[in-house]
Amino acid sequence: MAQLRIFWLPAVLILGATPLAQSAAVNAPLGQTSQVPPAARVVDLKASDGTLLRASYFAAAKPGPGVLLLHQGNRTRHSWDDLAEQLAAAGINTLTLDMRGYGESGGKHQNWPRGDSPVKKIWADDIDAAWKYLTSQPGVNGDVIGLGTAQLADARHRDPKAQLFPEVVVTIMGYNHMAVRETKLGVEIMKLVVNAYPDSADAYGSLSDAYLADGDKDLARQTAEKALDLLDSHAAPASSWSDTEERRKLIRDGAQDNLKQLGMAVDH
């Protein structure tokens, strides 16, 4: 998911691939039985400048991890409703947000920021407000990700092919933390994804993004090169949820961009 590095907004990628994300969320094993969650709760959030932002909170039936879904520039939070309901049913508390000027949120409509600008700071602050709301909810368990590695190792001991979570969903969580400048936690989450999906070029590309955001240039280089090596080998799908030529190109472009930022020659 390297193209998210532009602004670290999961929706830049995921809304362009919503059916794939839905398939991953519904079909991948989560290590628990799905339950019917309560109906979505509409909430009003206040941005740092006082702007009111409208969001929907899809609570899981019991405590679990949380994920924030952001829409593309030509949509609203309601484009996520079906996926959010499925994630909540799978035990993942989900918050969808209308960005300022979109849908039911206040503020001026502005295009997605692509570089450093005042707009980028405003949107980052808005995302931070949404993330703080999500993580403040009593059903959101921030410890779940930290326990993931031990849980996965235990499951793999019983079944070498076991998976506890969909690759795409936990990757979104990693980018969510990166979006609010929690880069070290973002690195740990992306490492968990790589541990669970070691043949995924997408997972290594996302981990490279996280290392680059956290300032670890050497590991950012190594993981970007690993992503390219996996793509070149054609030994496995580009990710567990998509192996289209378009997806492979996005992963390749992102890894190559990381290497170029690091001043490395690109020979893939």
117-121, 139-143, 176-180, 240-244: range with lowest mean pLDDT: 117-121
Region 13-31 average pLDDT: 33
Ranges of each domain in the chain:
32-136, 143-261
Q: What percent of the chain has pLDDT over 90?
A: 38
Q: Quote the mean pLDDT of the chain.
A: 78
Pairwise CA distance, residues 84 & 73, whole Å = 18
Place domain 32-136 in its CATH homologous superfamily.
Alpha/Beta hydrolase fold, catalytic domain (3.40.50.1820)
- For the record, the structure tokens of 41 come out as 């709760």
Pairwise CA distance, residues 240 & 47, whole Å = 36
Pairwise CA distance, residues 5 & 212, whole Å = 9
Query: DSSP strand E in 3-106: where?
Result: 41-46, 52-58, 66-70, 93-97
Q: How confident is the model at residue 204 (pLDDT cuts 50, 70, 90)?
A: very high
Q: What is the pLDDT of residue 245?
A: 94
Residue linked to tokens 């932002």: 53
Region 93-114 average pLDDT: 83
216: three-class secondary structure by DSSP: coil
What's the whole-model pTM score?
A: 0.56
User: Does position 21 have pLDDT exceeding 50, yes or no?
Assistant: no
Region 218-223 average pLDDT: 97
User: Does position 41 have pLDDT exceeding 60, yes or no?
Assistant: yes
Sheet holding 93-97, edge to edge: 41-46, 52-58, 93-97, 66-70
At the topology level, CATH places domain 143-261 in: 1.25.40
Q: Please answer whether residues 134 and 93 qualify as being in contact, where contact means their C-beta atoms are separated by less than 8 angstroms.
A: yes
Beta 66-70 vs 93-97: how paired, if at all?
Answer: parallel
